[in-house]
Amino acid sequence: MAKIMMAFQVLPKVEDARLFEVVDEAIAVVAASGVKYEVGPMETTMEGEPDQLWAIIREAQEACVNAGASRVMTYIKMDYNPGRTTIDEKIQKYREK
C-alpha cells in the first residue's frame, strides 16, 4: 500500500514538571521507528503505511503510560490519499527561506 501522512499529538496526564519528559518518550518511539517524521510544536507528522503508523502511535501511548501517565488524550490527523503528497513537498519552501 502507498504511504500516507499522519500527524498526532499526545497529551499525557502527569504532573506538570514531568510533562515534556513524558512527551519526549512518545517522540522517542517515533524516532526509533525508522519512518520519516517531523516534530512540530503541537503535533508530530509521520509518513508510512496506515497500519504501521497506527502501531507507532499505540506504542507512543504505551511509552507515556510506562513513564507514568494515567491517561493519554491523543489527536490524530490522517491524510488518506495514497502516495500523493509528502512532508517535504508540503513544507520545503517554508524551510528554505
User: Is 94 among the residues that bind a second copy (CB under 8 A)?
Assistant: yes
Q: What are the residues whose beta carbons fall under 8 Å from the beta carbon of 41, sequence distance 6 or more?
A: none
Is 77 a binding residue for a second copy by CB under 8 A? The answer is yes
Minimum distance of a second copy from residue 78's CB (angstroms): 4
Give the residue, chosen from 17, 41, 83, 96, that forms a contact with a second copy under the rule CB under 8 A. 41
Asked whether the beta carbons of 46 and 56 are under 8 A apart, the reply is yes
Tell me if 2 sits within 8 A of 68, measured CB to CB: no
Sheet of strand 36-39: strand arrangement: 4-12, 44-48, 36-39
Which residues of this protein are in contact with a second copy, per CB under 8 A?
5, 7, 9, 11, 16, 27, 38-43, 45, 50-51, 54, 58, 61, 65, 70-81, 84, 87, 90-91, 94
